[in-house]
Amino acid sequence: MTDLEPIPIVGGTGALGAGLALRWARAGVPIAIGSRSAERAGEAAAKLRDAVPEAKVEGLPNEDAARRAEVVFLTVPFRAQSENLNNLREALRPGQILVDCTVPLAAAVSGKATRSLGVWQGSAAQQAEEMVPDGVTVVAALHTVGAPSLANPETTLDEDVLICGDRKADKARVARLIELIEGLRAVNAGPLEMARIVEQLTPMLISVNARYKTHAGIRLTGLPDADHWQ
Amino acid sequence: MTDLEPIPIVGGTGALGAGLALRWARAGVPIAIGSRSAERAGEAAAKLRDAVPEAKVEGLPNEDAARRAEVVFLTVPFRAQSENLNNLREALRPGQILVDCTVPLAAAVSGKATRSLGVWQGSAAQQAEEMVPDGVTVVAALHTVGAPSLANPETTLDEDVLICGDRKADKARVARLIELIEGLRAVNAGPLEMARIVEQLTPMLISVNARYKTHAGIRLTGLPDADHWQ
C-alpha cells in the first residue's frame, strides 16, 4: 500500500465508521467511506468535509470503496455483517486484509447491548474469515473503541486496540493504520480465535459505561514501551 | 465485619492465594490461609511470616478458614472449584460473601491456558453461585491480577480488578478489601453474569504475556476519579 491509498471503511456511514473516518481525516489520512447507498456515502463524505475542510474523502458504494486499497475496514453492526460480506465477495481480491470490527451484541436480535450472542464459528471475526474469498485474510480490531469518543473532537483518546489475527505481518499493517489515530495504541492480542474474547469486551464496556456514565476504553498495563510491531 | 477479622483465603497455598496473602500481609491485614491440608496451610503461614515478619497470619484447614470472617476468597484452580465448594457447604453461613476468583482455563483438562472451557452456567462464578448454600452470595473478582506480579515484592501493581456481582453493597465490601492492596483499583463490572466475560480476560492476558514476555494487567480508561463505591 502506498501512502496515497485511502483507507476504505465499509459501513462508513455508521457510528463507528464515521468516528474512525473523522479521526483519520484529522490525521491527514485519505478515506473512502463506503455505504450500501452511494447517495448516503456521498452525504457522509460531504459531512466529513464540513467537519474537516482539508479532509481527503470520497463517498462510494461499499464494493467500490473496498477496491480502493489492500486493507479494508468493516464497521457494520453484527446484524448486517453477513450481508455485507456476501456483497463484498466479488469486490475483495486475494492479498487484501479485511479488518473486522464486528461485535456480536445481543442487540442484533433486540436483546441487551450488555450481552452477546454465541457465534457458531466462535466469534464474528471467525465468521468473517469463513465468508471472505480465498486469499483474503481477516484481522479483528477496534471493538473496544467507543464511537462517541471517536466522534467527539474534544475527546482525547488514550486507550489500546487489541488486534487478533493469524499472521503478525498482517496485524502489523493494521496496527500502523490504527496508530495513525492519536491516542490509540495497537496491541497484539494473539491469533484470530482470540477474537472470541476481545469481541466480548464491548458488552462489558457498555455495561460499565451505563454504570459510570462515561465512555470507557481498555488499556493493558505492564507492556514494554518499545514498538510492539517491529 | 470488624477490622480485626482476618481475610480467609480458601486455596491460599496456591499461586494466586499466596500472592494475595503476601500483599495483604504487607498492608497489615490479618489473613487466614486455608488449605485442604492443615499441615500445608501451616507451612504457607510460616513462609509468609518469614517474608513479612509482622504478618498476622494463621494456617487452617479450608473449612476453618472459611468460618473466620464474612467475606471469603476462593482462589483454587477451576479443576478444584467444585470439590472445594462441596467441602465448604457445611462451613459457609447465610450472610457470607464468597469471592470467586476461578478462571475456567482449558488447562484444567490439559488444554491451553490461552483457551477457556465453556461452563454450563455461563461462568465459573455462576457455577459457584449454584453451589453455595442458600443465603451466601457470590462475587467474582481478581481474575486478571497475575500471581507472579503479586508474589514479587519488587513489582509495583498498577491495574484494575473487575468485580461482578448482583448487589452493589456486596461488591463494595469486596472492593474495600481488594483496595487494601496498593495499586489495585476495584471497578464495578456489572452483575454476576458479566463474569462470563471477565473470566475470559485471563486466557487473553496469558496469551499477551507469552507474546510480550511480561505480566500484563487490565485498566479501564475514562472512568471518573471519584470513589467508585460510595
B86 to each of B79, B138, B185, how far by Cα in Å?
13, 15, 31
Residue B229: predicted pLDDT: 84
Closest C-alpha to B73, from B91, B100, B48: B100
Band (pLDDT 50/70/90 cuts) for residue A230 is: confident
Distance, CA of B137 to CA of B130 (rounded, Å) = 10
Inter-chain contact B159–A200, Cβ cutoff 8 Å?
A: no
Distance, CA of B75 to CA of A87 (rounded, Å) = 49
CB < 8 Å to A189, chain B = 204, 207-208
Indicate if the pLDDT at residue B2 is higher than 50: no
**Across-strand partners of A59?**
A33
Nearest CA in chain B to A217: B221
CB < 8 Å to A198, chain B = 204
Inter-chain contact B200–A200, Cβ cutoff 8 Å?
A: yes
| Tens of pLDDT, residues B66-99 | 999 999 999 999 999 999 999 999 999 999 999 9
Write the DSSP symbol of residue A188. E
Name the interface residues of A facing B (CB cutoff 8 Å). Answer: 114-116, 149, 158-159, 162, 187-190, 193-194, 196-198, 200-201, 203-205, 207-208, 211-224, 228
Write down the pTM of the prediction: 0.95
Inter-chain contact A214–B222, Cβ cutoff 8 Å?
A: yes
Phi, psi of A172 (to 5 degrees): -65, -40
CB-nearest to B221 from A114, A216, A224 is: A216
| Tens of pLDDT, residues B8-63 | 999 999 999 999 999 999 999 999 999 999 999 999 999 999 999 999 999 999 99
Cell 461488591 sits at which residue?
B171
Q: Tell me, what's the ipTM?
A: 0.93
Inter-chain contact A197–B205, Cβ cutoff 8 Å?
A: no
Distance, CA of B154 to CA of B157 (rounded, Å) = 9
Average pLDDT over residues A198-217: 97
The one-letter amino acid code at A191 reads: P
Phi, psi of A20 (to 5 degrees): -65, -45
**Across-strand partners of B35?**
B61
Band (pLDDT 50/70/90 cuts) for residue A75 is: very high
Distance from the Cα of B59 to chain A's closest Cα (Å) equals: 32
Distance, CA of A40 to CA of A61 (rounded, Å) = 9
Nearest CA in chain A to B207: A190
Indicate if the pLDDT at residue A2 is higher than 50: no
Q: How many other C-beta atoms lie within 10 A of the C-beta of residue A219?
A: 21
What share of residues in chain A are helix, strand, coil (percent, to 5)?
Answer: 40, 20, 40
Residue B193: predicted pLDDT: 98
Band (pLDDT 50/70/90 cuts) for residue B3 is: low
A110 to each of A79, A115, B26, B66, B192, how far by Cα in Å?
10, 11, 49, 43, 22
CB < 8 Å to A219, chain B = 218-221
**Across-strand partners of A71?**
A97
Band (pLDDT 50/70/90 cuts) for residue B228 is: confident
Say if residues B146 and B101 touch (Cβ distance below 8 Å).
no
Indicate if the pLDDT at residue B132 is higher than 80: yes
Test mutation, A105, A202, A220, A230, chain B, max B CBs within 10 A = A220
Phi, psi of B147 (to 5 degrees): -55, -40
Q: How many other C-beta atoms lie within 10 A of the C-beta of residue B21?
A: 31
What is the average pLDDT score of chain B? 96
Cell numbers for A88: 463484498
CB < 8 Å to B193, chain A = 115
Average pLDDT over residues A170-186: 97
CB-nearest to B201 from A197, A215, A221 is: A197
3-state DSSP assignment of residue B10: strand
Indicate if the pLDDT at residue B1 is higher than 60: no
Nearest CA in chain A to B200: A197
Distance, CA of B30 to CA of B55 (rounded, Å) = 7
Distance, CA of B141 to CA of B163 (rounded, Å) = 5
Q: How many other C-beta atoms lie within 10 A of the C-beta of residue A85?
A: 24
Residue B227: predicted pLDDT: 75
Band (pLDDT 50/70/90 cuts) for residue A226 is: confident
CB-nearest to A198 from B149, B204, B216 is: B204
Write the DSSP symbol of residue B214. S
User: What ranges make up the beta strands (E) of chain A?
Assistant: 7-10, 31-35, 57-61, 71-74, 97-100, 137-140, 159-164, 184-190, 217-221
CB < 8 Å to B125, chain A = none
Distance, CA of B216 to CA of A220 (rounded, Å) = 6
| Tens of pLDDT, residues A135-154 | 999 999 999 999 999 999 89
Cell numbers for B166: 448482583
Inter-chain contact A221–B216, Cβ cutoff 8 Å?
A: yes
Distance, CA of A166 to CA of A186 (rounded, Å) = 16
DSSP per-residue string spanning B153-199: TTPPP-EEEEEE-S-HHHHHHHHHHHTTSTTEEEEEEESGGGHHHHT
CB < 8 Å to B211, chain A = 188, 190
Distance from the Cα of B142 to chain A's closest Cα (Å) equals: 15
Residue B89: predicted pLDDT: 96
Higher pLDDT residue, B173 or A5? B173
Distance from the Cα of B124 to chain A's closest Cα (Å) equals: 16
CB < 8 Å to A195, chain B = none
Q: What percent of chain A has pLDDT over 90?
A: 95
A57-61 and A31-35 as β-strands: parallel, antiparallel, unpaired? parallel
Say if residues A158 and B221 touch (Cβ distance below 8 Å).
yes
Band (pLDDT 50/70/90 cuts) for residue B225 is: confident
Inter-chain contact B214–A197, Cβ cutoff 8 Å?
A: no
Nearest CA in chain B to A146: B222
Distance, CA of A176 to CA of B109 (rounded, Å) = 38
Q: In B110-139, which positions are buried (b, 16+ CB within 10 angstroms) versus exposed (e)?
A: eeebbbbeebebbbbbbbbbebbeeebbbb
The gap from C-alpha B90 to its chain's centroid, in whole angstroms, comes to 21
Closest C-alpha to B63, from B74, B47, B48, B55: B74
| Tens of pLDDT, residues A124-135 | 999 999 999 999
